[in-house]
């Protein structure tokens, strides 16, 4: 058991984290954007991502409640363990962050459904972060194993998600606007939950329904930058002009509309409102932070220590997606590594606690639905670690943040939240 102070801080930190992910839950953010059923036509619902099962449920409930259940059908792909029971729309589970056979089947079936739309129909694409791996049909000439291997290399390299997706979309039959091309000339509406820095539509789920700003040359440059030598089949595909993505002005995008229904900024603001009410001055560092998790943690710890020195009651909040350059063989993810780096940098400073969690409920790890969402940090974290014979610096060196926080009982274990607006981090400085 933790002392009363930790318990109080833990419950307040948890309330902030819950406010962040619940604001972006599909049942709260989707219904207002759902379209009318077209006259004489139907709505074909397809989608992919970590939040897409809950998006499907929210859509289904809406059309059932409005007496239009007979006019909808569809297929959604989500991450293993994220599926939900549905009445009309089929849910498929697939691999994330590394794609599996279901990632190919789900993507190919989505393309077939898109092509089946008639002139009176509307294709509704429900998209959320994670679709890049969950929908993964490789281009001609690229085998599934080669794409899987490349994904693993990119994940370990420390490359930011935008660069990873630049490569992946140029090796895909569905990303980079190609799903919109399959729908054309029928009408298409995409409703998206953003998990990317800057909320760029061509980066959310690798932009299957929009024009792409990146090129094949950019994809080759990413691999060179991170010193990844591609297999011959990947190299050939990235040199083949037929694999270029759709660009702005492409006629096949003419009947396509796109709306973002939830974004990281709103989730940070929901948490910030609660903190302000509790008497904290809130400093939001932005919803699109990138960088090495442990380095960012060090910078944030410095800010917190400065605020403490000034006697200020401050909540420091940030979103975005940090990365981990994997050198050890431990387990964890960017949020847990940030929390471990933060605890070392704070070095037991009194009155400072923190939380870092992925809003989808799972942070790195083995890609299992039971993996931790992140971790919490208290002034006595290092002291309790010493009592458990845990050397924080050695665990950080081995990228084993899960191994560090588990014996302390400081992991966030909540399971899938059914949404995904990226990371949520907060440091509370109590005067």
Structure-derived torsion over alpha carbons of residues 163, 168, 170, 174, reported in degrees to the nearest 10: -130
Whether the pLDDT of residue 4 is over 80: the answer is no
H/E stretch holding 91: strand 90-94
Distance CA 25, CA 395 (A): 34
Architecture field, domain 25-262: 3-Layer(aba) Sandwich (3.40)
Report the percent of the chain where pLDDT is more than 90: 93
Q: Each residue of 107-135: pLDDT tens digit?
A: 999 999 999 999 999 999 999 999 999 99
Work out the average pLDDT over 398-423.
Answer: 96
Length of the chain: 431
Whether the pLDDT of residue 1 is over 60: the answer is no
Whether the pLDDT of residue 216 is over 80: the answer is yes
Longest dimension (CA), the chain: 70
Q: What is the Cα 135 distance to its own chain's centre?
A: 14
Whether the pLDDT of residue 2 is over 50: the answer is no
For the entire predicted model, the pTM comes to 0.90
CA distances from 186 to 33, 38, 59, 60 (A): 20, 12, 20, 22
Distance CA 429, CA 313 (A): 5
Distance CA 122, CA 126 (A): 13
Q: Could you state, in order of their start, the residue ranges of all structural domains in the chain?
A: 4-22+265-429, 25-262
Whether the pLDDT of residue 427 is over 80: the answer is yes
Q: Each residue of 248-259: pLDDT tens digit?
A: 999 999 999 999
Mean confidence (pLDDT) of the chain: 96
Fold of the 4-22+265-429 domain:
glycerate kinase, domain 1 (3.40.1480)
Q: Each residue of 250-300: pLDDT tens digit?
A: 999 999 999 999 999 999 999 999 999 999 999 999 999 999 999 999 999
Distance CA 383, CA 257 (A): 54
Report the percent of the chain where pLDDT is more than 70: 99
Q: Which pLDDT does position 283 carry in this prediction?
A: 98
4-22+265-429 and 25-262, same CATH topology? no
Question: CB–CB of 386/160 below 8 Å?
Answer: no
């Amino acid at each position: 058991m933790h002392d009363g102070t930790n318990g109080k801080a833990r419950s307040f930190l948890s309330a902030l984290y819950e406010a962040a992910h619940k604001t972006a839950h599909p049942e709260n953010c989707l219904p207002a954007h759902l379209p009318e059923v077209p006259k004489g036509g139907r709505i074909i619902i397809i989608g992919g991502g970590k939040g897409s099962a809950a998006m499907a449920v929210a859509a289904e409930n809406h059309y059932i409640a409005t007496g239009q259940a007979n006019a909808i059908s569809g297929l959604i792909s989500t991450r293993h363990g994220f599926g939900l029971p549905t009445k009309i729309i089929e849910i498929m589970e697939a691999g994330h962050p590394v794609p599996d056979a279901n990632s190919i089947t789900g993507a190919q079936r989505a393309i077939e459904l898109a092509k089946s739309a008639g002139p009176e129909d509307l294709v509704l694409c429900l998209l959320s972060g994670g679709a890049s791996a969950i929908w993964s049909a490789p281009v001609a000439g690229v085998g599934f194993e080669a794409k899987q291997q490349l994904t693993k290399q990119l994940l370990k390299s420390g490359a930011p998600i935008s660069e990873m997706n630049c490569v992946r979309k140029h090796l895909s039959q569905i990303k980079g606007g190609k799903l919109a091309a399959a729908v054309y000339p029928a009408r298409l509406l995409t409703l998206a939950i953003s998990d990317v820095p800057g909320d760029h539509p061509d980066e959310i789920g690798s932009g299957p329904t929009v024009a792409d700003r990146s090129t094949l040359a950019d994809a080759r440059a990413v691999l060179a930058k991170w010193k990844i030598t591609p297999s011959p089949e990947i190299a050939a595909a990235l040199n083949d002009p037929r694999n270029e993505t759709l660009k702005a002005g492409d006629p096949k995008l003419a009947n396509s509309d796109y709306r973002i229904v939830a974004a990281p900024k709103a989730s940070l603001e929901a948490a910030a409102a609660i903190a302000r009410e509790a008497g904290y001055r809130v400093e939001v560092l932005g919803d699109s932070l990138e960088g090495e998790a442990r380095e960012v943690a060090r910078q944030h710890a410095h800010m917190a220590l400065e605020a403490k020195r000034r006697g200020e009651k401050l909540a420091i909040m940030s979103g975005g997606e940090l990365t981990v350059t994997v050198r050890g063989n431990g387990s964890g993810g960017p949020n847990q590594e940030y929390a471990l780096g933060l605890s070392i940098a704070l070095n037991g400073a009194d009155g400072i606690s923190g939380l870092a969690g992925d809003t989808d409920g799972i942070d790195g790890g083995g890609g299992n639905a039971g993996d931790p969402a992140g971790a919490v940090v208290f002034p006595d974290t290092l002291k309790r670690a010493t009592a458990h014979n845990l050397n924080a610096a050695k665990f950080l060196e081995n990228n084993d943040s899960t191994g560090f926080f588990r014996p302390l009982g400081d992991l966030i274990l909540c399971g899938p939240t059914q949404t995904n607006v990226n990371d949520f981090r907060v440091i509370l400085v109590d005067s």
